Amino acid sequence: MKIKPHIALYTLLALVGYACTSGIVTDSHLTREEAVYSNQPPGVMASVQEKLAVVDVRYYGFDGRIHQGQIVIHEALAADILQIFDVILQTRFPVESVLPIAHPLIQRKGPYGLSSDTNNTSGYAWRPVTGCKQLSMHALGLAVDINPRQNPYISGALILPPRAMYEPSAPGTLTADSPVVRAFKQLRWEWGGDWKERRVDYMHFQKVPPGWEQWTGLYRKESLSKMSAQK
């Protein structure tokens, strides 16, 4: 049987289309159930988990290819995350990986994904503030860390991840005039790179939605007393 030229053309176009779509590297494609409820430490609060959204995001990796990952964040901030990742993608700001803490690849690096050797970008994580007993804003789904290795947490001699360097001109590094930092600030997120007292946390962004200040404060205190009661 002879194949008609227009059918051959459509087949070719379909194949090219497939190749373009499959050119995206899938870093994370978990279900909400897996991303929010699997591999969680003890003491996680169900009322926080209920409010978490799993946002699919696209970004350029350091390999120059487009990747697809997922951020777990409070549902009230999901639209902000989409807008910010639009800037990340359009400006080709490279991101190493964006996996939920519950992702098996992160879990393999340490219990509950808290390994210091990860350069993963993530939102929700049930944990206290570094070096402190108070519950972190990450535990309420109100914070995001971006490229920790390029944007370390520095407090005196403590640098996390260990041996990370803050080199403002290196790709994937956040600075005050970076379009990514500006996009966050336009949406009223606070940047840890602006913190000058005791510590600076270049990877970290957080946002308390308007009117939630008291709730967030109470929640962190109550959760803390719950955590200590469990000890």
Q: Which residues contribute to the site for Zn ion (CB under 5 A)?
A: 143, 145, 204
How far is the C-alpha of 23 from the C-alpha of 135, rounded, in Å?
A: 40
Measured from each CB, the residue nearest to Zn ion is 204
Residue whose CB is less far from Zn ion, 94 or 148: 148
Residues 118, 40, 59, 96, Cα dihedral to 10°: 10
* Residues contacting residue 180 through CB under 8 Å, at least 6 positions apart: 84, 87, 88, 91, 93, 146, 174
As given in the structure block, the two tokens for residue 24 are 């995206």
Residue with Cβ nearer Zn ion (92 or 199):
199
Residues 137 and 201: beta-carbon distance below 8 Å: no
Q: SS3 for 229?
A: helix
Nearer to Zn ion, 74 or 204 (CB): 204
Q: How near is the Cβ of 136 to Zn ion at its closest, in Å?
A: 7
CB of 140 to Zn ion, least distance (A): 12
CB-wise, 11 or 175, nearer to Zn ion? 175
Closest CB 156 distance from Zn ion, rounded Å: 18
Q: At closest approach, how far in Å is the CB of 201 from Zn ion? A: 6
